Amino acid sequence: MLKNYSDLNAPARDALQEIGNIGTGNALTALSSMIHQTIHLQTPAVRIVPYQDAQELLGGAQTVKVGILIETSGDMNGIFMFLLNETFTRQLLEGVLGKSTIDLREPDEMSQSAICEIGNIMCCSYINAIASMTGMQIHVSVPSSCTDMAGSLLSVPMIHFAQMGDELLFIENCFRINACDFVSHVLFLPELSSIEHLLERLGVS
Residues 74-95 have pLDDT tens digits of 999 988 888 888 888 887 888 7
**Rounded average pLDDT over 104-118:** 82
pLDDT band at 141 (very low <50, low <70, confident <90, very high): very high
What pLDDT score was predicted for residue 92?
80
Coil/strand/helix, residue 130: helix
- Of residues 106 and 145, the one with the higher pLDDT is 145
What pLDDT score was predicted for residue 171?
86
Mean predicted lDDT score pLDDT of the chain:
84
How many percent of the chain have pLDDT more than 70? Answer: 95
Coil/strand/helix, residue 41: strand
Q: Judge contact between 36 and 44, C-beta under 8 A.
A: no
What pLDDT score was predicted for residue 161?
63
Residues 30-84 have pLDDT tens digits of 888 888 888 887 778 888 888 778 888 888 888 888 888 889 999 999 888 888 8
**Rounded average pLDDT over 89-116:** 79
The β-bridge partners of 146 are: 67
The β-bridge partners of 138 are: 74
Q: Is the pLDDT of residue 101 over 90?
A: no
The full set of domains in the chain, from first to last, is: 5-202 (3.40.1550.10)
Q: Closest by alpha carbon to 202, among 13, 4, 49?
A: 13
pLDDT band at 164 (very low <50, low <70, confident <90, very high): low
